Each structure stands twice: as structure tokens, then as C-alpha cells.
Amino acid sequence: MPLRDSFQTGITVAAVLITVLIFAGCRKEFPYFRGNGLRPIYLSHDSLAVVYNTAPRPITNTGPIYLKDTLLFLTEKLQGIHVFNVMDSTNPVPLTFIRIPAVTDFTISGSFMYADSGPHLVKINISDIYQVQVVDVKKNVFMPVLFPSNYFGIFECVDPDKGFVIGWDTAYIIVRCTISQ
Amino acid sequence: MLRIVSTLLFLCLVYSCAKESVDNFNGTNGKNNSNGKSGSITRFTTYNDYLYVLDHNKIKTYYTGDGNLTLTSTVTTDYGLETITIYDGTIYIGSRTGLYILDITNPSYPVLLSKTERSDIFGRCDPVVIKGHYAYSTVKTIVNVCGTLNTISALITYDVSNKHQPQEIDVKTMEMPNGLGIYKNLLFVCDEGDDAIHVFDISNNIPVPFVKVSITNPRDVICHNGKMIVSTPDGFTFYDIRDPSNIRMIGKIQT
């Protein structure tokens, strides 16, 4: 009796061991963290450096500003540049909005505006302020930000193939490690 | 010890929101580009046939004179470059760790002349304006991030008569300073912390408080032809500044 028991125990133990070993061998990932954190918001790479005029729109989050003759340019962060006629400073008039995806900054020289669109540097002919034209793009001039700012919690790593990061969302995320085979 | 801690502070913030929420400005005097003037918070500037842009820890120079964009120089610095302005043929850069001065006698190839460093200020959004031999810069504390460790928000005055050795000659504590601008002998400083433009008399170089103009969340300013344009998060306001004792609002756009 005792011998059969120990034999059965041995088989069971062996079976368990084999199962564990099989799973350990097949396993390529295991969860490292699950919980609330930040997840990147992507803008597709195709959208970058595509610049065009739209109707004037509300100002909600200004960035760098520039005064050229009677025109005032204001950055709407990540969206584009507002253009106002300020010849009469008591009555500024919105003229147009220059859509520049992922823009954060710009400057003007003569008839040209130089702006960023994500990682790219874009040169735009603004001689016709209502119909601006991109004349040159220098790609990957600016290093993308890969981390959420002023944040020291958990976040999902940026996957550059998914696009350019323009912000972060709170989300339930799963951060995984992988074991290389 | 302070150096180690400030290096740690810096490393903690190296990926901080430079792009998202830093307002990069540029002083009135430094950005006179034929017919244009920028605010004091900007990472981009042009000078004759050259475009200069800042990228985290790089100053990139592009020649634009032939209609192309040709990179002629990349200067690598510490991380945290925030604002650029050009005054009297010299580049002034505000960064998280100090003020950089570069010579552009050869505009295609900026040469670093000096860099100030403060171990007790680790700032954000450090616009610089210059008048004569004096540079004025605002720095903002970063709070609740890796501790604050004696950091302050302030308006700093530098004597830059020797560009190889700028001297800090005055520090004025402020709530949450932003962009700044100069008009004649007046220095205008946005303070988002106490919702005002602080106007200082700089006739004797060191800023002396003069008047205060109340405005909610001022971000940046352009002074030009007796007028001041102040940007706020959702609009901008025009002021008549010809009579500094009687600064009055004359026009505004606010969403």
C-alpha cells in the first residue's frame, strides 16, 4: 500500500513538474504591472507637415507669438497659428487659421514662416496669408518627447511606429516585460 | 552636495514638458527682424539669412539665403534649452540651468562664449531680454517634483558687458514669472502667479518696481511703437504704454 501511494505521488509530482516546465518553456511574457497610468496619444506620421488654412477659430491655449507689420500671429499649441489683422489695435480682426499639426513654436522671416510639426521643421510661404504653402520640410530635426512630463508613475512606453506623441491619456494599462528566447 | 542634488533634479526633469507647456519667449529688442518682432518665449529665431532653432540640448543653425534649409552647425549643450533671442549680433539662450551666450560673428557657426550656472535655480521657461549691457531673465520654480530644494521663481539681472563672464547683479523674487519685454527704459514682466504685468524702471539697469497692470494669466508680451500686446491662454490684449504712469487697455480678443 505505502509503495503504491508513493508511486502515485511520484507520478503526480512528475506530472506537475513536467507541466510547469512546459509552461515555463512556452511562456514568453508575464505581467509586470496592471493599473492606472498614462498612455500615449498618437498623431499619425502622415498627418505631420500637412499645412493648410482654415476659417478663424477660438483661441484656447496660446504659445509663441509674433507681430509682423499689421499682422499678429499666435500659436494654438499643437493645432496651428491664429492670424489677426491688428492695424487697428482697438479692433483686432481674425483673418485665418493656419493648421499645422503638432506645432509648438514658429518664427517668421520675410515671406516665410518656419514652424515645427512634430519632429519636423517646416518652411511655409505666407505671402498669401489665406493660402499658405509648404515649400520645404526637414524631417526629424526635433527630438520627440517619449515620456509624460512632470510625471513619475507608470506609463505605457511610446511605440514610434504608431505615430508622433501629442499627449497622454489616463488609462488602465498593462506594462509587460518580455523574456527573450 | 548641492551639485549632486541639482543634477538629480535635472535628471528627474530631463523629459519634462518643454514642448507641452513651456512658453518660450523672446524679448522685443532681440527679435527685430526687419519688419517683425516675436514674444520672448520661443525656441526659433532668424537673423539675416540664418535660422536658429533649439532642440532640448542642441542649437541648430540653418542657412536660408539661397531658398533652401541647409544645416551649417549643431552645438550640443546640457539639456534644457528653452528660449533663444539675438541682440547685437549675439545669441542669448535661456535654459533650465542658466544663461548661454554665443557669438555669431560667423553666423553659420555660433561659438559658445559663456554659460552661467546656478545651483539653486532649476527653472522652466527662461526667457531673456537684453538692453545695452544688461540681460533680464525670468525663471520659474518647479514645485512638487523631486522636491524643491531652495529653488525660487525670480527675475534675474545680469551684467553682460563681458560676454565671457556674465555677472548676476540682481534677483527679484516673483510668483510665477513668464515672458518679458522692454520699451524704452521700462521692463515689462508677466507674472501669472499674481495675475499682473510688473513694470520696472531700468534707467539705472537694476529693475526698480514702477507700476503694476492687472491681467489674468499673462503669458508673453510684445512691446512695439508705444503699444504692448499681452498674450493670455485664450486671447490677447493691447495696451497703450506711451505714458508709463497711465498704461491703459485699448483693445482685446478673448475667447
Task: Count the domains in chain B.
Answer: 1
Lowest mean pLDDT among A150-159, B184-193, B239-248: A150-159
Q: How far is residue B6 from each of residues A23, A37, A77, B9, measured CA to CA in Å? A: 47, 27, 30, 5
The answer to whether residues B229 and A65 touch, using CB atoms and an 8 Å cutoff, is yes
Cβ contacts of B42 on chain A, cutoff 8 Å: 64, 105-107
The confidence score (pLDDT) of residue B140 equals 78
Identify the domain containing residue B236 by its residue range. 2-254
User: In CATH, what number is assigned to the domain containing residue B125?
Assistant: 2.120.10.30
- CATH class of the domain comprising A50-138: mainly beta
The confidence score (pLDDT) of residue B46 equals 97
Stretch 143-162 of chain B: residues touching chain A, C-beta under 8 Å: 145
The confidence score (pLDDT) of residue B32 equals 44
Q: Select from A59, A62, A105 the Cβ nearest to the Cβ of B43.
A: A105
**Residue A28: pLDDT over 80:** no
The answer to whether residues B127 and B69 touch, using CB atoms and an 8 Å cutoff, is no
Mutation target among B14, B17, B19 for the A interface, most CBs of A within 10 A: B19
B24: confidence class by pLDDT, cuts 50, 70, 90: very low
The model's pTM: 0.83
What number is the average pLDDT over the span A123-151?
94
Q: Does B241 contact A at CB distance below 8 Å? A: no
Question: Facing residues of B62 across strands?
Answer: B51, B71
What number is the average pLDDT over the span A55-75?
97
Interface confidence, given as ipTM, is 0.84
The fraction of chain A above a pLDDT of 70, given in percent, is: 87
CA of residue B198 relative to chain centroid, distance? 15
C-alpha–C-alpha distance, residues B162 and B168, integer Å: 12
C-alpha–C-alpha distance, residues A145 and A166, integer Å: 9
The answer to whether residues A107 and B42 touch, using CB atoms and an 8 Å cutoff, is yes
Q: Does B15 contact A at CB distance below 8 Å? A: yes
Cell of A31: 505581467
CB contact under 8 A, B238 and A105: no
The residue with greater pLDDT, B250 or B176, is B250
Domain ranges of chain A: 2-41+144-178, 50-138
**Residue B31: pLDDT over 50:** no
What number is the average pLDDT over the span B167-175?
92
The confidence score (pLDDT) of residue A135 equals 98
Cβ contacts of A150 on chain B, cutoff 8 Å: 13, 16-17, 142, 145
The answer to whether residues A62 and A76 touch, using CB atoms and an 8 Å cutoff, is yes
Mean residue pLDDT of chain B comes to 85
The answer to whether residues A106 and A142 touch, using CB atoms and an 8 Å cutoff, is no
Question: How far away is chain A from the Cα of B228, in angstroms, using its nearest Cα?
Answer: 10
The fraction of chain B above a pLDDT of 70, given in percent, is: 79
Burial of B249 (0-12, 13-18, 19+ CB in 10 A): middle
The confidence score (pLDDT) of residue A8 equals 79
Query: Which residues lie closer than 8 Å to A158 by C-beta, 6 or more apart?
Result: A40, A144, A146, A165
The confidence score (pLDDT) of residue B6 equals 58
Cβ contacts of B45 on chain A, cutoff 8 Å: 107
Q: Select from B16, B231, B251 the Cβ nearest to the Cβ of A91.
A: B251
What number is the average pLDDT over the span A97-103?
98
Mutation target among A97, A109, A114, A166 for the B interface, most CBs of B within 10 A: A109
What number is the average pLDDT over the span A27-39?
72
**Residue B90: pLDDT over 80:** yes
